[in-house]
Structure 1
Amino acid sequence: NTSYLDVDEIAAATSRPESVLGMHFFSPANVMKLLEVVRGKATGNAQLATVMALSVKIGKVPVVSGVCHGFIGNRMLSPRQAQAHALIMEGANYWDVDEALLEFGFPMGPWQMADLAGLDIGWHRDPARIESVRDALCAKGRWGQKTKKGFYDYDDNRQRTPSDEVKAVIAEFAAKEGKPQRAIDKDEIRERLLFPMISEGALILDEGISQRASDIDTVWLNGYGWPAWTGGPMFWADHIGLATVVAGLKKHGLPVAPLLERKAAAGETFN
């Protein structure tokens, strides 16, 4: 299932809610190892154990998640995407946003990822209705790698080049929003992309959606290309110091999860 279905709502419509749980595969499912196993509030222990065993049998790395919008992985991806958009509205070059994550060790950045997935996914298909940068690009036939143009232009070997047309679209939207433009360096880009993920991970732990920080790391290492040598987002946060993360979030005017704030103040770690 997708990460935006409410497993508890589905279970409530059945006479056997203990037998309802989610299996969230990652695309392409024949390649990606991660499987989020979503435990509903009524899911039975035996049923959960059966699916965990099945997951291993089919070669997956299962992680138990509670029910929430986006589960673990996509919920943490959401604030990163929000900051990626905010950065390009404030003047950051979209290719610099991607490069900042490539230099950190990700296989691709947010705008490369959007091009690979397809910008038209979820698009309303009305070229006259332009409400976002993505709408504007889709209306121009820029659907991503499959049309050889999305945020980037692509050659026959799928090599990317920044597009003047896309730069103009972004500049137009930034002007509409009245955003003053400024140069933004890659250190700020990285902090604003990665630190909000740590804060969201702390909320996920505090709410009991994930049982332990290492489960969050397993999700991001096996499903999202987080660079393995850093140990995963929560382990990396421990390594650089939770106080560093809190200070960075506050510097950029971004929210700090209560659990993150408490652990940083106490000199503690997630793992």
Structure 2
Amino acid sequence: EQQLAALTPTLDYQDLAKADVIVEAVFEAMHLKQEVFAELDRVAKPSAILATNTSTLDVDQIASATGRPESVIGHHFFSPANIMRLLEVVRGSATSDEVIVTSMALAKRLSKVAVLVGNCFGFVGNRMFWPYQREAQFLLEEGASVEQVDRVLTDFGMAMGPNAVMDLAGIDVGWRVDQERKDSLPAGLRQPLVSSKLYELHRYGQKTGAGWYRYEGRQALPDPTVQALIESTAQAAGIERRTIADAEILERTLYAMVNEGARILAEGIAQRPVDIDITYVYGYGFPAWRGGPMMFADTEGLQKIYQRTCHYQKIHGPWWEPAPLLEELAKGDGKFADLTRRKR
């Protein structure tokens, strides 16, 4: 009751004029976020921090709607924000040091685990999660079942399987993100086919009672309708279905994630491998006892991951092009942990 009493609801931007920090949290549509930030720029005091809760969109593009890009920063709270401790603090190209330091201090006051990341599609967490989900969907098209993929990943230690995660987050949310991103992808790349069909059927996940699974309350149940949809979609696309081993599911989902993590490190989007690991343990249900995806990769062996990545590239094409950093470390018998030691 005390917390609720501290809230002041409003429909008037002018009521934000004295706020020190303003966090925008409208849905993932660039035009809408820019409209909001243009209004915030008009009413907010000069010293205010203007933060966006975007999970994927370009912070610089959002900031371009204002006359003060140095005051704009990403505060990506993970859902549900009252439970999940992770906060990705996303620095834009013009974000001032003062705004970054204040944001990190605010995160600490909110009892969040903050990770400072660079600005790109999906930042660290969702950028790496996209290839993980992409491969999960490709595996469904090629012969795995929804339940098999999720079982394999939860047996590995993930809090939820990728299909259950999509149902929880909302298939409609993922669809909107894909629409924002599709024009930036090279033409001709294979794309997942079934999730867009679920969107067209208004199967958005838990909130509509049906997505990859059907739901009785919060209980997820296998849905023969989805299996039939997967099979018919694969047939129409000329994809020959086969029996898929659990080991292939693990390799294709996790190694794709690690390969993208190597690119993120090389680009400086994440400063250290441990920043990626913290993001995944605190924000994505990666098993803490495995240390996070980059520590897992070091334990698994980068030579093995590189060799299997090359193997999948021969079969599945450009999505599996090895990251140069992964190749360099594998051929030099190195580890991601070595990158942290180099910076000391």
Say which of 73, 77, 100 aligns to 2:152. 100
Q: How does 1:130-145 map to 2 (within 5 A)?
A: 132-145=193-206
- In the alignment, structure 1 residue 179 sits paired with structure 2 residue 179: no
What is the aligned counterpart of 1:260 among 326, 330, 335?
326
Instruction: Provide, for residues 203-233 of structure 1, a one-character-per-residue CA deviation record: whole Å limited to 9, x for no partner.
Output: 0010011110000101001100000000000
CA distance in 2, matches of 1:54, 1:104: 34
Out of 209, 215, 228, the position equivalent to 1:154 is 215
| TM-score, normalised with respect to structure 1 | 0.91
**3-state DSSP of counterpart to 2:171:** coil
Match of 2:94 among 42, 67, 70: 42
Q: Give deviations 1:110-140, integer Å, cap 9, x for gaps.
A: 111122223333668xxxxxx9423433454
Which sections of structure 2, spanning at least 5 residues, go unmatched? 1-52, 177-191, 314-319, 338-344
In structure 2, what is the Cα distance between the partners aligned to 1:43 and 1:234? 28
3-state DSSP of counterpart to 2:221: strand
Tell me the CA shift for residue 18 of structure 1: 2.2
Residue in 2 that maps onto 1:26: 78
Q: Identify the residue that residue 128 of structure 1 maps to in structure 2.
A: none
Q: Helix, strand or coil for the counterpart of 1:256?
A: coil
Deviations 1:215-264 (A, max 9, x none): 01010011000000000000110111111111121222222100010011
Q: Which runs of 4+ in 1 moved over 4 A?
A: 138-141
> Distance between the aligned counterparts of 1:213 and 1:249, measured in 2?
19
> Partner residue of 2:135?
83
How far apart are the structure 2 equivalents of 1:245 and 1:270? Answer: 12
Distance in 2 (alpha carbons) for counterparts of 1:10 and 1:141:
29
Where 2:99 maps in the other structure, the secondary structure is helix
Q: Is 2:258–2:293's contact at 8 Å kept on the other side of the alignment? A: yes
Over residues 128-160 of structure 1, what are the superposed CA-to-partner deviations in whole Å (9 max), with x where a residue is unaligned? xxx94234334545332233332223334x332
Alpha-carbon distance between aligned partners in 2 of 1:269 and 1:133, rounded to the nearest angstrom: 36
* One-letter identity of the residue aligned with 1:234: M
Change (3 A) 1:184 1:132: closer
Identity between Structure 1 and Structure 2 (%): 50
Matched residue SS, 1:4: coil
Which segment is superposed worse, 144-153 or 133-142? 133-142
Task: Map 1:1-271; keep pairs closer than 5 Å.
Answer: 1-121=53-173, 132-156=193-217, 158-253=218-313, 254-271=320-337
Q: How many aligned positions are there?
A: 264
Q: Which has the larger radius of gyration?
A: 2
Q: TM-score, normalised by structure 2?
A: 0.73
Structure with greater contact order relative to length (CA < 8 Å, sep ≥ 6): 1
> 1:122 and 1:186 mapped to 2: Cα distance?
26
Question: Which ranges of structure 1 fall in alignment gaps of 5 or more residues?
Answer: 125-130
CA deviation string 1:32-85 (max 9, x = no partner): 111110111222212211110111111111101111000000000111111111
Q: Secondary structure at the match of 1:120?
A: helix
For 2:206 and 2:72, the matched residues in 1 are separated by 37
| Matched position secondary structure for 1:79 | helix
